[in-house]
Chain A
Amino acid sequence: MAKKIIDIRGVSKSFGGKTVLKDINLFINQGEFLTLLGPSGCGKTTLLRMIAGFLQPDEGSILLDGKELGDTPPHLRPLNTVFQRYALFPHLDVYDNIAFGLKLKGVPEDEIEKRVRKVLKLVVMSDYEDRDVETLSGGQQQRIAIARAIVNQPKVLLLDEPLAALDLKMRKDMQIELKEMHRKLGITFIYVTHDQEEALTLSDTIVVMNEGRIQQIGTPIDIYNEPVNAFVADFIGESNILNGTMIRDRRVSFIGHDFDCVDEGFGENTPVDVVVRPEDIYFTTEAAKTQFTATGGYRYRQRTDDPGLRSLPRGEHRAAVHRPGRHPGHEKGAHDQRAGSHGFRRRQHRAAGRHLRVQHRRLFRGRQGARGDSVRCR
């Protein structure tokens, strides 16, 4: 059983009458890589700053190792932050930047030197000790910022969009390195980003936020395959969200056709949002495999991964949206994530708030390998 290191209970915050966080409940396990993901203004950075101690919640409490943090100031919290624009001290060189925290704690000089060298090696920046931080590139400053934080051996490392200022290539490289560092150090990482791809790549757990509320908590696979509402479906990955009607259990109607699906419990003739991932659409000429036939001249409006779509010759074509268990390459009932995923995912219209939890439960009901333990909305 994983140990909770941070427990956020009923936290709310507003600035000048505007609510930025509303009743946030979340816990973070020891050693986990957890990402707070959402568009700008969703409250993710506010939440991170509260954990760091730069902001105080209006309501609720944050516990570290079971002890309430209350109004403990940032400098007394055993946490360290990597800031968005690194915030390296421009008047100090690389060594003094990294040694800053250790010197304040009164660590003996030779010990400081040993530890600084060790982290510099970890972030692949040995031999840069005497460099002026302003002469370093963005990526190098980033590494030093991480080194400056982890040299203090924090219980939790907070990262506020640390890769946002880097170019794409560097970002990809740093993603891999961050993941590697997380594995080596075993420190809990709380990572804030608006980049869904980054979140999917790095995280053990993703917390999707929007407008001050948690929309969904789960593993990247959960979040991608089982978005709880239209917002999450739209925000994570590419998807086609279509208006449809749940005719009855395991049968949904949209774009004028009826389709089989595996979801149930929505009731009969209930309006739903139907999410179709591009990779779930297959084109075939074998009539037996199809759920939906179309002939040339039909204008497909779905987004798709399939480059063949754009160059479809005129004539008769059949589009298949794969049936549960008939996903190519997977045998029915195989213990594989993809085998359990559906061609369709549908959610109640504007599913939010009070529906969230209930819907979430439904999603996992009866699923093989249901990860109910990763459902953390309370």
Chain B
Amino acid sequence: MKMTKRSQWALPYVIFLGLFVVLPLFLVLVYAFQDGAGRFTFSNITRFFTDRDALSTFALSLEVAIENTAICILIGYPAAWILANRKLNRSAVTIVLFIIPMWVNALMRTLATAELFNMMGLQLGKGTLIFGMVYDYLPFMIYPIYNILERMDKSYAEAAADLGADSWTVFRKVTLPLSLPGVASGVLMVFMPTVSTFAISEFLTNNRIKLFGTIIQENINSSMWNYGAALSLIMLIIIGITSLLTGGDKEEQMEGGMV
């Protein structure tokens, strides 16, 4: 009797998940395979794969997301390493400074960045788009890497040094491989939202560059629910594949978790 009572405590959560996660996903699935009149069809999917514009937007989105993720790793890893290194960074304030931008609404940050570019008279385009994305998503790369580096047992590096590794070799053979789960976490958190973003491209390129998220938004806004749903489904699948590729080890993913 007691057991059934306990399990009933989960009910509110089950209802919540059902209403706000499972049902919407299910609706996306249903809409994706319906035409405007509600009949079952594959045409939405086939339309995407035959639509040259949609495909090239999709390719561009992936390209931008990959570039953004790569730049975030290149800047974020050393930043996280410096933050986690007690000798170089003695105060927690620096870490907070890196995290604070995350407290500000991303839309506002993006608008402000766009305004800044306008003031400087810079041509809005791919360069400003990538800048805005890196600016927006960098903390999401730094934090999980910082977390894993900070918690890493220092005796691993000491053991490597003790066995004859100079500091570069220690990093290459021990610190870097052991921090990869943090990088994987960061990749997930940066890559996934950049594939689907539309606000940043809208503001930072004045809609000159359209991303995958943008065409989904355009379709939904112009009441083309079915095609929009199909595009969303495709994006979900891409994101799903990415997380499968990077997030093999669930436990270590947790370690690199967010604030």
A8 CB to closest chain B CB, in angstroms? Answer: 19
Q: Which one of A79, A87, A101 lies within 8 Å of B158 (CB-CB)?
A: A87
Q: Is the CB of B165 within 8 A of A75?
A: yes
Is chain B's binding surface mostly helix, strand, loop or mixed?
helix
Interface bin, chain B: 10 to 19
Q: Are A87 and B155 in contact (CB-based, < 8 A)?
A: yes
Instruction: Report which A residues bind B (CB closer than 8 A).
Output: 52, 54, 73-76, 79-81, 83-85, 87-91, 100-101, 104-105, 148-149, 152
Q: How many A-B residue pairs have CB under 8 A?
A: 59
**Is B38 located at the chain interface by the 8 A CB criterion?**
no
Q: How far is the CB of B255 from chain A (nearest CB, A)?
A: 12
- The docked-state distance in angstroms from the alpha carbon of A74 to that of B162 is 5
Given A54-B158, A89-B160, are A104 and B165 also a contact pair (CB < 8 Å)?
yes
Q: Which chain B positions have C-beta within 8 A of A88? A: 159
**Given contacts A89-B174, A91-B178, A104-B169, is CB(A83)–CB(B159) below 8 Å?**
yes
Q: Is B161 among interface residues, defined by CB-CB distance under 8 A?
A: yes
**Complex formed: what's the CA distance from A149 to B153 in Å?**
19
Name the B residues within 8 Å of A87 (CB-CB). 153, 155-156, 158-159
A152 partner residues in chain B, CB cutoff 8 A: 163-164
Chain B positions 154-193 with a Cβ under 8 Å from a chain A Cβ: 155-156, 158-166, 169, 173-174, 177-178
Known A85-B153, A85-B155, A104-B169; contact A90-B178, beta-carbon cutoff 8 A:
yes
CA distance A76 to B161 in the complex (A): 9
Contacts of B155 in A (CB 8 A): 83-85, 87
Contact of A105 (CB < 8 Å), options: B160, B161, B164, B166: B164
Q: Nearest CB to that of B158 among chain A residues?
A: A54
| Inter-chain contact A101/B153, CB cutoff 8 Å | no
A-chain residues with CB within 8 Å of residue B158 when the two chains form the complex = 54, 74, 81, 83, 87
Select A91's contact among B153, B163, B165, B177, beta carbons within 8 Å: B177
A91 to B177, CA, bound (A): 7
In the complex, the chain A residue whose C-beta lies closest to that of B166 is A75
Apart from A90-B178, A100-B165, A101-B164: 16 A-B pairs, beta carbons within 8 A: A73-B161, A74-B158, A75-B163, A76-B164, A80-B162, A81-B158, A81-B162, A87-B156, A87-B159, A89-B160, A89-B178, A100-B160, A100-B173, A104-B164, A149-B163, A152-B164
**Listed residue (B153, B160, B169, B177) with the most chain A CB atoms within 10 angstroms of its CB:** B160
**Min distance, Cβ B94 to any Cβ of chain A, angstroms:** 21
Query: How far is A75 from B162 in the complex, measured between Cα atoms in Å?
Result: 5
* Given known A89-B174, A90-B178, A91-B177, contact A74–B156 (CB-CB < 8 A): no
> How far is A79 from B161 in the complex, measured between Cα atoms in Å?
11
Checking A74, A85, A90, A149 against B161 with a beta-carbon cut-off of 8 angstroms, the contacting residue is A74
A101 touches B156 (CB 8 A): no
Set of chain B residues within 8 Å of A100, measured between Cβ atoms: 160, 163, 165, 173
Smallest CB–CB gap between A162 and chain B, Å?
12
How many whole Å from B69's CB to the nearest CB in chain A?
Answer: 23
Tell me whether B156 and A75 are in contact (CB under 8 A).
no
Residues of A within 8 A of B153 (CB): 85, 87
Tell me the complex Cα distance, A89–B164, Å.
14
Which chain A residue shows the least CB distance to B163? A101
- What B residues does A101 contact at CB under 8 A? 163-164
Which residues of chain B (82-106) have a CB below 8 Å from chain A? none
Asked if A89 contacts B156 (CB within 8 A), the reply is yes
- Closest chain B residue to A83 by CB distance? B155
Distance A152 CA – B164 CA, assembled complex (angstroms): 10
Looking at A76, A85, A101, A152, which has the most chain B CB atoms within 10 Å of its CB? A101
List B109-167 residues whose CB lies under 8 Å from chain A: 153, 155-156, 158-166
**With A and B bound together, what is the CA distance between A52 and B169 in angstroms?**
18
- Cβ contacts under 8 Å, B163 to chain A: 75, 80, 100-101, 104, 148-149, 152
Residues of A within 8 A of B166 (CB): 73, 75
B163 to chain A, nearest CB (A): 4
A90 CB contacts on chain B under 8 angstroms: 178
Give A104 to B169 CA distance when docked, in angstroms. Answer: 9
Roughly how many angstroms separate A101 CA and B169 CA in the complex, as a whole number?
11
Contacts of B173 in A (CB 8 A): 100
Q: Given A85-B153, A85-B155, A87-B155 in contact, is the A75-B164 Cβ separation under 8 Å?
A: yes
A344 and B166 CA atoms in complex are apart in Å by 54
